[in-house]
Amino acid sequence: MDLSAPCVLVIGGHDPSGAGIAADIETCAALGCLALSVVTALTTQNTAGLHDIRPSAADAVRRQVELLAEDFPLAAVKVGMVPDATIAQALRTLHDGLLAGLPWVVDPLLRAGSGNALAGADMDLGWRRLLAGTTVATPNRAEALALAGTDDLDTAVATLLADGCTALLVTDIGDRDGQLVNALYHRGQPVVVEAMPRYPGDYHGSGCTLASAIACCLARGAPLEEAVREGQRFAHRAVARAHRPGSHQAIPNRAAAARP
Ligand code: PLP
């Protein structure tokens, strides 16, 4: 056990087929961090689709975080699936109180890669409330537009930054010469626009991998832009080396992504 491994608190849903909290834990391990995991929901799904969601009780989520914060020197927080507004409110309170001052990476998930909803209708507003004070939020283009209630990306970026997140990494804002383009907006300006080869097919847990990798880099003390660049490189390698053990979406290979 590497005693210097930074502790990253990962808060999200359990997916038996490997996205969500399992992807977070694998990413943290690959990047030499210790993941401390709090499950917000049990999902019933495989790589073909999602069948059911059982949200955790908000007070159980809160109590688990409190006990972990008492015990471990937390260095960063990553939030994935939040199924309902009562859990969002518990996280809001923790962000403003016990866990204030830590870097927070929030991946505002609305749907699983299979297209099924991962959050209740009350979470459009729930996510918006959670963005205030977040170090970086990582919506994809569709999530950014849906959360802001607009069809225009510039308006969505301005709206979500106005909610109070320090930075916004919008993934897959479009194609440039067949490449996938992500943009990091910091104080309204796109500061890092990165284009990467787009691999064909669907990947299960690629967004979780990216957000967790950024959280690990922040936990190690990297400045925001460096953490985002490094996180993107890691997630990109995991997708490039993905395997397809199930019958539908491929699974990013986080262990293999640890190698340059
Ligand atoms: N969290 C959970 C619990 C999930 O089930 C999923 C997708 O199925 C995700 C997060 C998001 O996965 P992705 O990273 O593919 O957007």
CA of 46 to the centre of ligand 1 (A): 11
Question: 187 by DSSP, 3-state: which?
Answer: coil
- Site to substitute for ligand 1 among 10, 15, 236, most atoms within 8 A of C-beta: 15
pLDDT exceeds 60 at position 1: no
CA of 41 to the centre of ligand 1 (A): 12
Atom number in ligand 1 closest to CA 210: 14
User: SS3 for 39-98, per residue?
Assistant: EEEEEEEECCEEEEEEECCHHHHHHHHHHHHHHCCEEEEEECCCCCHHHHHHHHHHHHCC
What is the model's pLDDT at position 120? 87
pLDDT tens-digit map of 10-55: 999 999 999 999 999 999 999 999 999 999 999 999 888 899 999 9
Q: Is the CB–ligand 1 distance for residue 81 below 6 Å?
A: yes
Q: Is the CB–ligand 1 distance for residue 138 below 6 Å?
A: no
pLDDT tens-digit map of 211-241: 999 999 999 999 999 999 999 999 999 999 9
pLDDT tens-digit map of 86-127: 999 999 999 999 999 999 999 999 988 777 889 988 898 899
How far, in Å, CA of 36 to CA of 54, rounded? 21
- Site to substitute for ligand 1 among 54, 118, 143, 239, most atoms within 8 A of C-beta: 118
What is the model's pLDDT at position 114? 73
What is the model's pLDDT at position 3? 60
Q: Is the CB–ligand 1 distance for residue 19 below 6 Å?
A: yes
pTM (2 decimals)? 0.96
Question: 163 by DSSP, 3-state: which?
Answer: coil
pLDDT exceeds 60 at position 187: yes
pLDDT exceeds 80 at position 192: no
